[in-house]
Amino acid sequence: MQESVMQRMWDSAHLSGGNAAYVEELYELYLHDPNAVPEEWRTYFQKLPSDGSAATDVSHSTIRDHFVLLAKNQRRAQPVSAGSVSSEHEKKQVEVLRMIQAYRMRGHQAAKLDPLGLWQRPVPADLAINHYGLTDADLDTTFRTGGLFIGKEEATLREIRDALQQTYCRTIGAEFTHIVDSEQRSWFQQRLESVRGRPQFSPEVQGHLLERLTAAEGLEKYLGTKYPGTKRFGLEGGESLIPLLDEVIQRSGSYGTKEIVIGMAHRGRLNVLVNTFGKNPRDLFDEFEGKKVEGLSSGDVKYHQGFSSNVMTAGGEVHLALAFNPSHLEIVSPVVEGSVRARQDRRNDLSGDKVLPISIHGDAAFAGQGVVMETFQMSQTRGFKTGGTIHIVINNQVGFTTSRAEDSRSTEYCTDVAKMIQAPIFHVNGDDPEAVLFVTQLAVDYRMQYKRDVVIDLVCYRRRGHNEADEPSGTQPLMYQQIAKQRTTRELYAESLTSAVSHSADEVQAKIDDYRTALDNGQHVVKSLVKEPNKELFVDWRPYLGHAWTARHDTRFDLKTLQDLSNKLLEIPEGFVVQRQVAKILEDRQKMGAGALPINWGYAETMAYATLLFEGHPIRMTGQDIGRGTFSHRHAALHNQKDASTYLPLQNLYAGQPKFDLYDSFLSEEAVLAFEYGYATTQPNALVIWEAQFGDFANGAQVVFDQFISSGEHKWGRLCGLTMLLPHGYEGQGPEHSSARLERFLQLCAEHNMQVCVPTTPAQIYHLLRRQVIRPLRKPLVVLSPKSLLRHKLAISTLEDLAEGSFQTVIPELDTLDPKKVERLILCSGKVYYDLLEKRRAEERQDIAIVRIEQLYPFPEDDLAEVMAPYKNLKHIVWCQEEPMNQGAWYCSQHHMRRVATAHKKTLFLEYAGREGSAAPACGYASMHAEQQEKLLQDAFTV
Ligand code: AMP
Q: For residue 666, give the DSSP letter.
A: P
Q: Report the atom number in ligand 1 closest to the C-alpha of 539.
A: 8
State whether the beta carbon of 358 lies less than 6 angstroms from ligand 1: no
The answer on 337 and 321 residing in a single domain is yes
Those residues whose C-beta lies under 8 Å from the C-beta of residue 700, and which sit 6 or more positions away, are 668, 669, 670
State whether the beta carbon of 171 lies less than 6 angstroms from ligand 1: no
Q: Cα–Cα distance between 397 and 119 in angstroms, integer?
A: 10
Q: Tell me the CA–centroid distance for residue 259 and ligand 1, in Å.
A: 13
Q: Which residue owns the Cα nearest ligand 1 atom 18?
A: 718
pLDDT score of 305: 83
State whether the beta carbon of 533 lies less than 6 angstroms from ligand 1: no
State whether the beta carbon of 318 lies less than 6 angstroms from ligand 1: no
State whether the beta carbon of 719 lies less than 6 angstroms from ligand 1: yes
User: Has residue 53 got a pLDDT over 60?
Assistant: no
pLDDT score of 16: 41
The answer on 168 and 152 residing in a single domain is yes
Q: Is residue 397 part of a domain?
A: yes
Q: Tell me the CA–centroid distance for residue 324 and ligand 1, in Å.
A: 11
User: Has residue 12 got a pLDDT over 60?
Assistant: no
Q: Tell me the CA–centroid distance for residue 692 and ligand 1, in Å.
A: 27
Confidence of residue 56 (pLDDT cuts 50, 70, 90): very low
The answer on 229 and 377 residing in a single domain is yes
pLDDT score of 429: 98
Q: For residue 50, give the DSSP letter.
A: S
DSSP character string of 891-908: HHHHHHHHHHHHHH-TT-
The answer on 59 and 98 residing in a single domain is no
pLDDT score of 51: 47
For 810, the enclosing helix (H) or strand (E) is strand 810-811
Confidence of residue 296 (pLDDT cuts 50, 70, 90): confident
Q: Cα–Cα distance between 515 and 222 in angstroms, integer?
A: 10
Q: Tell me the CA–centroid distance for residue 308 and ligand 1, in Å.
A: 8
Q: Is residue 205 part of a domain?
A: no
Residues 110-132, mean pLDDT to the nearest whole number: 96
State whether the beta carbon of 708 lies less than 6 angstroms from ligand 1: no
Q: Which residue owns the Cα nearest ligand 1 atom 1?
A: 321
Q: Cα–Cα distance between 910 and 74 in angstroms, integer?
A: 81
Task: Read off the CATH number of the domain in which 689 is found.
Answer: 3.40.50.12470
Q: Tell me the CA–centroid distance for residue 182 and ligand 1, in Å.
A: 42
Q: Is residue 601 part of a domain?
A: yes
pLDDT score of 74: 46
> What distance lies between CA 111 and its chain's CA centroid?
32
Q: Tell me the CA–centroid distance for residue 802 and ligand 1, in Å.
A: 34
The answer on 900 and 795 residing in a single domain is no
Rg of the chain taking only CA atoms, in angstroms:
33
Query: Among 105-109, 323-327, 378-382, which is the least confidently predicted range?
Result: 323-327
Q: Report the atom number in ligand 1 closest to the C-alpha of 545.
A: 21
Q: Tell me the CA–centroid distance for residue 277 and ligand 1, in Å.
A: 15
- For residue range 608-664, list pLDDT tens digits in order: 999 999 999 999 999 999 999 989 999 999 999 999 999 999 999 999 999 999 999
Q: Is residue 315 part of a domain?
A: yes
Substitution candidate for ligand 1 out of 541, 544, 709 with most atoms within 8 A of CB? 541
Do residues 416 and 461 touch, judged by C-beta distance below 8 A?
no
State whether the beta carbon of 718 lies less than 6 angstroms from ligand 1: yes
Pairing status of strand 619-623 against strand 723-727: unpaired
Pairing status of strand 398-399 against strand 402-403: antiparallel
Substitution candidate for ligand 1 out of 258, 322, 718 with most atoms within 8 A of CB? 718
Do residues 459 and 430 touch, judged by C-beta distance below 8 A?
yes
End-to-end CA separation in angstroms for the chain: 85
pLDDT score of 406: 77
Picking from 804, 820, 837, the residue at the C-terminal end of a domain is 804
Residues 839-857, mean pLDDT to the nearest whole number: 97
Domain count, the chain: 5
857 closest CA partner among 726, 752, 783? 752
Q: Tell me the CA–centroid distance for residue 339 and ligand 1, in Å.
A: 11
101 closest CA partner among 65, 137, 135, 76? 76
186 closest CA partner among 37, 73, 36? 73
pLDDT score of 693: 93
Q: Which residue owns the Cα nearest ligand 1 atom 13?
A: 541
Do residues 386 and 337 touch, judged by C-beta distance below 8 A?
yes
The answer on 847 and 738 residing in a single domain is no
Task: Read off the CATH number of the domain in which 259 is found.
Answer: 3.40.50.970
Confidence of residue 552 (pLDDT cuts 50, 70, 90): confident
pLDDT score of 58: 39
User: Has residue 197 got a pLDDT over 70?
Assistant: yes
User: Has residue 52 got a pLDDT over 60?
Assistant: no
Residues of the chain with pLDDT > 70, as a percent, come to 92
Q: Which residue owns the Cα nearest ligand 1 atom 2?
A: 538
Picking from 501, 516, 535, the residue at the C-terminal end of a domain is 501
pLDDT score of 2: 41
Q: Is residue 79 part of a domain?
A: no
Q: Is residue 549 part of a domain?
A: no
Confidence of residue 63 (pLDDT cuts 50, 70, 90): very low
- For residue range 821-834, list pLDDT tens digits in order: 999 999 999 999 99
Q: Report the atom number in ligand 1 closest to the C-alpha of 538.
A: 2
Q: Cα–Cα distance between 634 and 611 in angstroms, integer?
A: 16
Q: Tell me the CA–centroid distance for residue 650 and ligand 1, in Å.
A: 29
Substitution candidate for ligand 1 out of 538, 677, 685 with most atoms within 8 A of CB? 538
Substitution candidate for ligand 1 out of 259, 296, 308 with most atoms within 8 A of CB? 308
Residues 782-788, mean pLDDT to the nearest whole number: 95
Q: Report the atom number in ligand 1 closest to the C-alpha of 720.
A: 19
Confidence of residue 29 (pLDDT cuts 50, 70, 90): low
State whether the beta carbon of 320 lies less than 6 angstroms from ligand 1: no
- For residue range 384-433, list pLDDT tens digits in order: 999 999 999 999 998 887 876 778 899 999 999 999 999 999 999 999 99
Q: For residue 736, give the DSSP letter.
A: T
Q: Which residue owns the Cα nearest ligand 1 atom 17?
A: 718
The answer on 659 and 726 residing in a single domain is yes
The answer on 872 and 827 residing in a single domain is yes
The answer on 229 and 176 residing in a single domain is no
Pairing status of strand 824-828 against strand 142-144: unpaired
State whether the beta carbon of 937 lies less than 6 angstroms from ligand 1: no
The answer on 657 and 609 residing in a single domain is yes
Q: Tell me the CA–centroid distance for residue 541 and ligand 1, in Å.
A: 6
Query: Among 73-87, 638-652, 716-730, which is the least confidently predicted range?
Result: 73-87
pLDDT score of 5: 38
Buried (b) or exposed (e) across 404-442, using 16+ Cβ within 10 A? Answer: beeebbeeebbbbbbbeebbbbbbbbbbbbbbbbbbbbb
Substitution candidate for ligand 1 out of 539, 688, 708, 714 with most atoms within 8 A of CB? 539
User: Has residue 332 got a pLDDT over 60?
Assistant: yes
Do residues 746 and 782 touch, judged by C-beta distance below 8 A?
no
Those residues whose C-beta lies under 8 Å from the C-beta of residue 712, and which sit 6 or more positions away, are 324, 677, 681, 718, 720
Do residues 313 and 250 touch, judged by C-beta distance below 8 A?
yes
> Domain of 620?
559-804
Q: Cα–Cα distance between 193 and 190 in angstroms, integer?
A: 5
Q: Tell me the CA–centroid distance for residue 772 and ligand 1, in Å.
A: 19
pLDDT score of 21: 56
Residues 151, 153, 155, 160, Cα dihedral to 10°: 70
For 850, the enclosing helix (H) or strand (E) is strand 848-853
Q: Is residue 396 part of a domain?
A: yes
- For residue range 41-51, list pLDDT tens digits in order: 778 778 776 54
Picking from 804, 839, 867, the residue at the C-terminal end of a domain is 804
Residues 196-218, mean pLDDT to the nearest whole number: 97
Task: Read off the CATH number of the domain in which 138 is found.
Answer: 1.10.287.1150
The answer on 226 and 172 residing in a single domain is no
State whether the beta carbon of 321 lies less than 6 angstroms from ligand 1: yes
Q: Tell me the CA–centroid distance for residue 719 and ligand 1, in Å.
A: 8
The answer on 107 and 13 residing in a single domain is no
Q: Tell me the CA–centroid distance for residue 624 and ligand 1, in Å.
A: 29
Those residues whose C-beta lies under 8 Å from the C-beta of residue 328, and which sit 6 or more positions away, are 703, 707
Q: Tell me the CA–centroid distance for residue 718 and ligand 1, in Å.
A: 7
User: Has residue 857 got a pLDDT over 90?
Assistant: yes
For 30, the enclosing helix (H) or strand (E) is helix 17-32
Q: Is residue 714 part of a domain?
A: yes
